Structure 1
């Protein structure tokens, strides 16, 4: 059952139950706490007595007294008087006997209806009967203390007058239900709108934002929903970019593998069939096969790095290390690699030891990625520069090359995963080296950035890695 249907049922049942309970409780409490006579019950006693007198034709004498005494015995609080037309008392259940004049009778009624609720008043009702051309009067009287303490009567001549009393009562009784119905209907409408919007939420769907300025729980939930939609949209855009890069990666990888594989197959077939001219051509073919195989092995290593990185985030194991010594060792390795090539290597490393808290394997990996990037993409400049500088709070490592530089449109995205520039720095690789450097820097609460990138040949491209001296707490 829908909440709206439940709401209507609850409202109807509540309204009907409240009315039934009102009358039921009023009747029960009235019987318990509102004892005594009311005008209706007095009129019933008077009419019943007159009916008995008329039925027995007992307008005087012994039978009259018996009827009045019987009525008094049933209602001892009442005083019954039977008067003739001249005001004389034919019988009085109180034992008195006298003749009333008009003034005395008028005084019995002059303070009505105030006597109904006065403490020492007397309430008197009168009825008349005709017999033998004579008029007789029955007076029924009692003290006001014997009357019910609470009684209200409406005397209506038309049903239209009833509406004058019933309509305000119904409006007053149903107004709270109407206000509650409006409130809950509004809440139900907002919840249904939120539920409809939630059903549309998905990575591939167009989730909508809702407007709700209220500060209640539904308004807070709506704002949380809007925040969630914004995050989903952002994540969906990132996923879309990531998927596009993956497709581009697969396309580039297919091209990067197909070209060397074609060369390997061609030279291997030449060697197998003996189609080479001399020993030099054989050695050249074997050398090309070896180079292309190493290149393919490097691509596969990068793919393995991607798989490892997606499986888990590297765990940081900080310790105090000599950063100067680590950088000297890395530069020495690259001097051996670049030996025999027309490369100028400039290392600006202080003679003093610089000790910093960091994860040595991760920082070494980041530095080697920066150096590989400089050698691979900036090799045209035949220059490789490495620098280390210490300040009061941090250390700065720089890697420089004099290649073709980074295009303006690529500078903001150079550290994105799988991104490969289409300009002068395009070469071998899958576009993950610099993204790994950035992640390692952030793990150490540091930064990496591209400084003054060259737009044309001749200028230096500088990558700067900044690390705080105490980025993380040492493990015990």
Structure 2
């Protein structure tokens, strides 16, 4: 059942119960909590007494005394007087014997029924009966304290008057419900909009953005929904990008592995069958096999790096290490590797040892990734440089080349996973090396940046703090 239907049913049931309970509860509480006589009860007492007097023909003092005394015993706060046509008292339950003049009777009945709601004024009600063409009068006298305090000061003589009186009461009853409806109806529409938008929320369809300027709880919920929808939209775009890049990764990997594997198989078959000219050609084939095998090993290492990144398994093991010694060792490896390749390799590392709190294998890996990247994409410049500078609280590591460089619009993306500046160039890695470098530098609370001028100089700069809190 919809909330709007529930609200309507609740309003109708509540209004009906309010009206049905109002009158019986008013009468019940009035009878329990308010003692005394009202006009209706006094009229009933007098009519019953007059009927009894008429039935028993008890109009004289000796006859009516018994009836009046019995009534007085039942209602001790009421004074019963039986008066003749000439104003003389036939019997008085208080024992008085008066002869009333018209003025005396008029004074007792003066300001009735206002005195019914007075404080101290006595109350007198007069009833009459005829017998033998002679009028007799029954006077009921009581104090205002004996009257009920909760009496209504008017009578409704017709149903039309009663309905006229009830109309404002019904309006008073229904105003809260109408105001509730006025309040909840727009709220229900807002809830339905949020509910519909959330029902349509998925990655395949366009996300619905809701507009709600109100500051209440529902407005805050709508704001949170919009923020969630934007996050989902952003994450969906990221998922699509990652999916596209993963597909590209598989395509690149299959191509990058096929080329060296084909070369390895070809040269291995040549060596196996002895189809080489001399020992020098055999060494050349063996060198090619070694290079291609190392290249495939690097590709597999990059795949392992991708897995570790996804699983968050890049663990840090910090200790004090001389970074100068580490960089000299790396530089020495590349000097040997570049020997005979017509490369200019400049090394600018201080002679003194500089200790730094770091994970040495990860920092070495980052430097080697930068050097491999410079050799792969900057080989056209036949230049490679590695340097270390001590700048107060930071160490600055640079790796530079003079190759084709990196376009300005690409420089903000090169540290993203699977991103390659030129996807048309096959066999040049998986686009993960620089992302690994940035993650390692970030884990060491450092920073990395790049500046590039094609065929002049492309420089990767790493800044590492000398001292860090122990991880």
Q: What's the TM-score once normalised by structure 1's chain length? A: 0.88
**Uncovered stretches (5+) of structure 1, i.e. residues with no partner:** none
CA 1:313–1:233 in 2, change beyond 3 Å: closer, same or farther? farther
Maintained 8 Å contact 1:362/1:440: yes
Alpha-carbon separation, structure 1, partners of 2:322 and 2:7: 73
Number of matched pairs: 470
- Three-state SS of the structure 2 residue aligned to 1:81 is strand
Deviation at 1:395?
1.5
- Three-state SS of the structure 2 residue aligned to 1:238 is helix
1:141 corresponds in structure 2 to 141
Maintained 8 Å contact 1:376/1:427: no
Range with bigger deviation, 90-99 or 337-346: 90-99
- Three-state SS of the structure 1 residue aligned to 2:450 is strand
Alpha-carbon separation, structure 2, partners of 1:324 and 1:272: 45
Kindly provide the CA deviation profile for residues 67-119 of structure 1, in whole angstroms up to 9, marking residues without a partner as x: 33332222222122223333233332322233322211110121323422333
Deviation at 1:369?
0.5
- Three-state SS of the structure 2 residue aligned to 1:350 is coil
- Three-state SS of the structure 2 residue aligned to 1:250 is helix
2:462 corresponds in structure 1 to 465
Deviation at 1:265?
4.8
CA 1:423–1:347 in 2, change beyond 3 Å: closer, same or farther? farther
Deviation at 1:425?
7.9
2:367 corresponds in structure 1 to 367
Structure 1 residue 474 and structure 2 residue 438: aligned? no
Kindly provide the CA deviation profile for residues 102-139 of structure 1, in whole angstroms up to 9, marking residues without a partner as x: 21111012132342233321111112223333333222
1:414 corresponds in structure 2 to 414
Structure 1 residue 236 and structure 2 residue 233: aligned? no
Alpha-carbon separation, structure 2, partners of 1:137 and 1:304: 119
Maintained 8 Å contact 2:347/2:386: yes
Maintained 8 Å contact 1:418/1:432: yes
2:342 corresponds in structure 1 to 342
Aligned Cα RMSD in Å? 2.9
Kindly provide the CA deviation profile for residues 141-196 of structure 1, in whole angstroms up to 9, marking residues without a partner as x: 11112111221143223333323432322333343344345444554444443333
Range with bigger deviation, 286-295 or 357-366: 286-295
CA 1:286–1:339 in 2, change beyond 3 Å: closer, same or farther? closer
1:381 corresponds in structure 2 to 381
CA 1:445–1:377 in 2, change beyond 3 Å: closer, same or farther? same
CA 1:124–1:62 in 2, change beyond 3 Å: closer, same or farther? same
CA 1:165–1:404 in 2, change beyond 3 Å: closer, same or farther? same
Kindly provide the CA deviation profile for residues 218-242 of structure 1, in whole angstroms up to 9, marking residues without a partner as x: 3333323322222222211111111
Q: What's the TM-score once normalised by structure 2's chain length? A: 0.89
Maintained 8 Å contact 1:404/1:425: no
Maintained 8 Å contact 1:405/1:424: no
CA 1:79–1:20 in 2, change beyond 3 Å: closer, same or farther? same
Structure 1 residue 199 and structure 2 residue 196: aligned? no
Alpha-carbon separation, structure 1, partners of 2:440 and 2:289: 35
Aligned runs of 1:19-418 on 2, under 5 Å? 19=19, 22-23=22-23, 25-60=25-60, 62-265=62-265, 276=275, 278-279=277-278, 283=282, 288=288, 291-418=291-418
Alpha-carbon separation, structure 2, partners of 1:426 and 1:380: 17
Deviation at 1:285?
6.0
**Uncovered stretches (5+) of structure 2, i.e. residues with no partner:** none
Alpha-carbon separation, structure 1, partners of 2:247 and 2:154: 88
Range with bigger deviation, 72-81 or 285-294: 285-294
Alpha-carbon separation, structure 1, partners of 2:164 and 2:240: 70
Kindly provide the CA deviation profile for residues 246-273 of structure 1, in whole angstroms up to 9, marking residues without a partner as x: 1111122222233334444555666777
Deviation at 1:244?
1.0
Alpha-carbon separation, structure 2, partners of 1:277 and 1:296: 24
Alpha-carbon separation, structure 1, partners of 2:290 and 2:354: 41
Range with bigger deviation, 414-423 or 222-231: 222-231
Kindly provide the CA deviation profile for residues 286-319 of structure 1, in whole angstroms up to 9, marking residues without a partner as x: 6655544443333223222212222224122222
Deviation at 1:19?
4.9
